[in-house]
């Protein structure tokens, strides 16, 4: 098993869409960034890439590359999912939190979790998204920006192969089960 942690933050500005977890949330401000600035998906991608020792989103999607200008972070998450698969990893679970004083995010959280699960080919119960405020403290509390943190657990196909092989040998050697 491998564990990863991710963090992202973006500044809130006028004349930008607010997109979190692939959901456009109607609000007066949006997040500033090279892509769609989806802090939730960015934190999740960094957690996944970190757990697999594949770097971070800056390595894979540099903000100096014009092909990522305005890109949907759902597309970037699809790419990260493919990288994990290519490197023999499966996502066990993701737990993430969005830190924002406003707007209230509770009505949008189920769709965010569903978008993440669908994009990565996971079951809904493998993805947890929550939101919190900072009680008016710091840059998120004052409404200057929104941040997100995520943790994930991955397993490798190699680990499963070793466990399956040792399990089969155990069953054959003991003679007590039919597995």
> In angstroms, what CA-CA distances link 138 with 13, 21, 145?
17, 23, 9
Query: Is 28 marked as a binding-site residue?
Result: no
Determine contact, residues 135/73, Cβ cutoff 8 Å: no
Residue 62 labeled ligand binder: yes
Q: Is 140 annotated as a binding residue?
A: no
Q: Tell me if 78 is assigned to a ligand binding site.
A: no
Is residue 38 annotated as involved in ligand binding?
Answer: no
Residue 139, annotated as binding a ligand: yes
On whether the CB atoms of residues 13 and 20 are closer than 8 A, the answer is: no
Q: How far is it, in rounded angstroms, from Cα 54 to Cα 92? A: 17
58 labelled binding-site residue: yes
145 is in an annotated binding site: no
> Annotation-wise, does 116 bind a ligand?
no
63 is annotated as contributing to ligand binding: yes
Binding residues for a divalent metal cation: 8, 10, 42
Known binding positions: 8-10, 34-35, 42, 56-58, 61-65, 132-135, 139
């Amino acid at each position: 098993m491998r564990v990863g942690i991710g963090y992202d933050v973006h500044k809130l500005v006028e004349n930008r869409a607010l997109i979190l977890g692939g959901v456009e949330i109607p609000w007066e401000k949006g997040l500033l960034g090279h892509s769609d600035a989806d802090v939730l998906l960015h934190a999740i991608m960094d957690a996944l890439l970190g757990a697999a020792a594949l770097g971070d989103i800056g390595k894979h999607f540099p903000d100096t590359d014009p092909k990522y200008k305005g890109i949907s972070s759902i597309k970037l998450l699809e790419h990260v999912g493919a990288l994990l698969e290519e490197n023999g990893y499966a996502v066990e679970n993701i737990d993430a939190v969005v830190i924002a004083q406003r707007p209230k995010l509770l009505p949008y959280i189920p769709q965010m979790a569903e978008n993440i699960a669908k994009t990565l080919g996971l079951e809904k119960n493998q993805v947890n998204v929550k939101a919190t405020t900072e009680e008016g403290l710091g840059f998120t509390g004052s409404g200057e920006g929104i941040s997100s943190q995520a943790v994930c657990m991955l397993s490798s196909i190699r680990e499963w192969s070793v466990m399956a092989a040792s399990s089969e040998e155990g069953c054959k050697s003991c003679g007590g089960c039919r597995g």
